[in-house]
Each structure stands twice: as C-alpha cells, then as structure tokens.
Amino acid sequence: MDRPDEAVPRPIAPGCKIVAPTNFDGCAAKVLPVGRSVRERQAQAMTHASTNPALAWTSTVVAAQSAALRAASDHWLRSTRYLLGLAPTGTSAAPEVRGDPAETPGHGPAAEKAQGSIADVAVGYRLEFTRRVTTDLIEAFGDVSGDVARLHFDEDYAAKSRFGGRIAHGMLTGAFISAALSRLPGLVIYLSQELRFIGPARPGDVITARITVTERPEGKSWARLRTECLLEDGTVIADGEAKVLLGPEP
C-alpha cells in the first residue's frame, strides 16, 4: 500500500535543509531554516518531537546523555587543571604560591626551572621536587588516569588491606619524578624510566622526588639519572633510573 508522504514529496523551500528523514516513524521530513543558531534548531526539533511519542522518547534520552557527557567532561577538565596546577576554568589568574613548597599545587606550564644551563648538568648534579599528597590529589589522579581501585578511594576497604588505610597510586609518586625532571635546564625529553615501588605514600605524606645525574657522556645529548621518592624522615618509597634528552629551549 502506498504511503501518502512517499507519493507526493514535499518541496524544500530556498534557504532550508532537511534535518530528519522523510517518513521516519510516520512523520514527514522536518525542514529548518539554514543560518539559525544551534540552540534555536534544537528547540524547534524538540517541539517537533513532542508531537510524536517515539521522537519525544529519543530526544529525552539524547538530552540526558548529553548532560551526563557534559558533566563528565567538566569534571575531567577540573581534575586535569588541578593536577597541572592551572587556574580554575574561566580564570586567568596564576595559582597561589604559598610559603611551604609541599603545600604548593604546582606551577603549571611555567614550572620554575633550575638555575644554570645544560652544560651544568654533569655527573653528580642533583635536583629535588617536593609535594604533599592529599586525598583530593589522589582522587584527581584517579579521575584523570582511570585507575579508580578501591585501595585509593575507599577508606573502609583499604583499612582491611595490608596497608591499613588509603594509599596513593604508585604512578602518582612516579609523576613527581617527572615533575623533577621537567625542571632540569633546557628542553627535557623523557626517554625511559625504570621504577621500583618499595613503600606506600599516604594522604598527608610529604614526598620529595630526588634526581641525580649518574651518566653524562661528553658530546652526547642524553643523561642517565638515579630517581628516588622519599618521605620526610628519609625513607625511600620508590627508586629507579631515568634517561632523558637535553637540548636548547625552542
């Protein structure tokens, strides 16, 4: 049996375009003017959908999914900016730098470089980066990395483990090593890292990432460094070896 809408195609007016297929669930093609704002088009499409149950249900589901995606995206952005030490979204202010470096949330892309030049990076050269571990930092790292193991998020669960409470991600302490390396003079390119986790970092711990140059061949652009993460009492909780390329700033 012929369907009326198929038998007589509707003309499209100049300056308009089809935004829904002809005869979708019994509805003729919906035509909207070109050049209108996205919000206006969405509003008009929602009005059209309200006259058809199937389209109305689909529109509701899509709207809910879009809202959820926007919320997840906003949360991820806030977490990322927190980890990088950037100002909150929508502001241009630099993060506040307080007296205790362990309390400072980082310096973002403009991280303070060590004094001197690449030529100063010789065997025995040492640099440190210090940061306090907080529950907010652990949760932000979990959000960004996707590692949401209960050992890092659930205090009751972690209390029953061998650690007796929540601990930071091992790679969060490893990231402090990356922060220390980034402060070497010149342009630093991280080539490799061997890392051994010895003990946990807990909320409230102040961690110092210490890097020491162990090999710097003459005429070569790379350096090998011993890497360590230490608690305030000097206990080493992670150690390993890194290799980096050093070059002039672009």
pLDDT under 50 in the chain at which residues?
A: 1, 3-39, 41, 61-62, 84-101, 104-110
Asked if the structure places residue 143 within a domain, the reply is: yes
What pLDDT digit, counting tens, does each position of 73-125 carry?
555 555 555 554 443 333 333 332 223 445 544 444 445 788 889 999 999 99
Indicate whether 73 and 164 sit together in one domain. no
CATH code of 155's domain: 3.10.129.10
User: Can you give the pLDDT at residue 114?
Assistant: 84
User: Can you give the pLDDT at residue 67?
Assistant: 57
Give 94's contacts (C-beta < 8 A, 6+ positions apart). 87, 108, 110
User: Can you give the pLDDT at residue 88?
Assistant: 39
Smallest Cα–Cα separation from 32: which of 42, 22, 19, 14? 19
Q: Supply the Cα-derived Rg of the chain in whole angstroms.
A: 28
Count of structural domains within the chain: 2
Asked if the structure places residue 214 within a domain, the reply is: yes
User: Can you give the pLDDT at residue 54?
Assistant: 55
Give the helix ranges, DSSP H, for the chain.
Answer: 4-7, 38-49, 53-84, 135-145, 150-153, 155-159, 170-182
User: Can you give the pLDDT at residue 238?
Assistant: 98
CB 63 within 8 A of CB 57: no
Asked if the structure places residue 87 within a domain, the reply is: no
> For residue 102, which phi and psi values (nearest 5 degrees)?
-70, -20
Smallest Cα–Cα separation from 246: which of 206, 196, 191? 191
Indicate whether 75 and 105 sit together in one domain. no
Burial class (CB within 10 angstroms; exposed 0-12, middle 13-18, buried 19+) of 205: buried
Residues of the domain holding 141: 101-247
Total-model pTM:
0.59
